């Protein structure tokens, strides 16, 4: 039975929150992207900056908005650059991404570039920075496509293999031969491995692997779960978290064989759609934060090729828990839920 965690702070946003990130250096700053669908079908949003004040006595005063930047389109994802924490990229509902500059002194945001990378009726569903090249991001779209965008000149390279339905998420490979791979997940229940060099598919899973859309992917990295660099995690609308074994021969240097789909090493039903998989940024901490849509959030611990659901948090997340992030020291977590416009701060260790 998972331990139910206590809340530290709570606030209500003006527009429904879709995604959030805690500043990787100044953990008192939380950036939240919002998404509002109007009755006429139009979408708009905002990028909001919140200040987390640990000295505030009441939990509903610990998190307060300090700046808001309205956007003509809704925001579906927001990411800080791992190479420069003053660089922020947002994914939008009108086929565009926006590159922002964050001033840590006054916590202001300035638009550097607003770039159309798809048709205007296409939603950019997620963005991910390459762990290797500071100028490259992966973007996914409701057209089923995934693409590499160069932030230097905003040129776009689209992968040859697309999803049959919306492409919801992606991830760069990082270790060994996986550094040439991009993984994407879509509403067609497929997980596709693409070769960055050829822009073609290495393999694609089938309905035998996921029973519904693939909405989150966590690749092996140099900083998380380092003792198991051959394991790839996926989250699905079917409420299951799956762990795929990517190794072919060498456990320490995972690689892929064209057409050879990795086997599922472990599968766990989390009780809600596994929309986000966010590894702890703390060195040596292999825990993962999961945002489980209609059933709050969980903290998961790993051991070899298995996992355990140790902590559970929901409280006022009565609707879709879409966004979440860890403080860099791992001492607190912030999550948000969509229709009720709730943002909550809680301790993963309480």
Is the model's pLDDT at 66 over the cut of 70? yes
Cα dist from 171 to 112, 215, 224, 233, 331, whole Å: 25, 11, 14, 11, 25
Report the share of the chain in percent with pLDDT over 70: 97
CA distance 253 to 231: 11
Helices marked H in the chain: none
pLDDT at 229: 86
Overall average pLDDT of the 104-113 stretch: 94
Burial of 261 from C-beta contacts in 10 A (0-12 / 13-18 / 19+): middle
- DSSP assignment of 267-313 equals EEE-SS---EEEE--STT---EEEE-BTT-EEEEEEETTEEEEEEEE
Give the domain range for residue 9: 3-346
CA distance 36 to 44: 5
Is the model's pLDDT at 248 over the cut of 70? no
Average pLDDT for the chain:
94
The CATH number assigned to the domain holding 298 equals: 2.130.10.10
Q: Is the dihedral of CA 146, 37, 344, 29 positive or negative?
A: positive
Quick check: 231 and 177 in contact, CB under 8 A?
no
Is the model's pLDDT at 254 over the cut of 70? no
- In sequence order, what are the residues at sequence separation of 6 or more whose Cβ sits closer than 8 angstroms to the Cβ of residue 305? 228, 231, 243, 245, 265, 266
CA distance 350 to 336: 19
Quick check: 193 and 256 in contact, CB under 8 A?
yes
pLDDT at 31: 98
Under the banding of pLDDT at 50, 70 and 90, the label for residue 304 is low
Is the model's pLDDT at 255 over the cut of 70? no
Is the model's pLDDT at 89 over the cut of 90? yes
Overall average pLDDT of the 100-121 stretch: 96
What is the reported pTM? Answer: 0.95
CA distance 125 to 170: 10
Under the banding of pLDDT at 50, 70 and 90, the label for residue 251 is low
| DSSP label at residue 136 | E
Look at the chain and report how many structural domains it folds into.
Answer: 1
Overall average pLDDT of the 4-26 stretch: 95
pLDDT at 249: 47
Cα Dmax for the chain: 57
pLDDT at 223: 87
Quick check: 118 and 144 in contact, CB under 8 A?
no
Helix (H, G, I), strand (E, B) or coil at 45: strand
Q: Nearest to residue 215, comparing CAs of 137, 254, 163?
A: 163
Summarised one tens digit per residue, pLDDT across range 11-21 is 999 999 999 99
């Amino acid at each position: 039975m998972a331990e139910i965690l206590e809340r530290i702070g709570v606030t209500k946003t003006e527009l429904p929150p879709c995604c959030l990130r805690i500043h990787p250096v100044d953990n008192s700053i939380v950036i939240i992207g919002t998404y509002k669908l109007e009755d006429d079908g139009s979408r708009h949003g905002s990028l909001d900056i919140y200040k987390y004040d640990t000295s505030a006595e009441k939990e509903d005063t610990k998190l307060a908005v300090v700046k808001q930047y309205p956007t003509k389109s809704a925001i579906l994802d927001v990411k800080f650059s791992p190479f420069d924490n003053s660089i922020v990229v947002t994914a939008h509902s009108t086929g565009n991404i926006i590159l922002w500059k964050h001033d840590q002194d006054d916590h202001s945001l300035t638009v550097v570039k607003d770039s159309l990378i798809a048709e205007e009726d296409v939603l950019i569903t997620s963005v991910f920075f390459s762990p290797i090249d500071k100028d490259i991001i992966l973007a996914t779209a409701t057209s089923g496509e995934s693409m590499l965008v160069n932030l230097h000149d905003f040129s776009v390279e689209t992968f040859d293999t697309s999803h049959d339905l919306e492409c919801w998420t992606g991830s760069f490979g990082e270790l060994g031969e996986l550094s040439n791979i991009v993984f994407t997940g879509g509403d067609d229940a497929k997980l596709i491995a693409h070769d960055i060099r050829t822009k073609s598919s290495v393999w694609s899973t089938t309905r035998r692997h996921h029973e519904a859309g693939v909405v989150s992917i966590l690749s092996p990295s140099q900083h998380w779960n380092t003792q198991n660099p051959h394991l790839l995690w996926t989250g699905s609308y079917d409420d299951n978290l799956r762990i795929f074994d990517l190794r072919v021969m060498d456990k320490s240097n995972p690689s892929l064989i064209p057409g050879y789909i990795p086997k599922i090493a472990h599968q766990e039903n989390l009780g809600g759609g596994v929309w986000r998989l966010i590894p702890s940024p703390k060195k040596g901490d292999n825990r993962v934060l999961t945002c489980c849509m209609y059933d709050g959030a969980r903290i998961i611990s790993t051991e070899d090729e298995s996992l355990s659901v140790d902590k559970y948090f929901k409280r006022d997340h009565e609707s879709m828990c879409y966004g979440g992030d860890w403080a860099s020291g791992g001492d607190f977590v912030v999550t948000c839920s969509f229709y009720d416009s709730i943002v909550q701060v809680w301790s993963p260790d309480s």
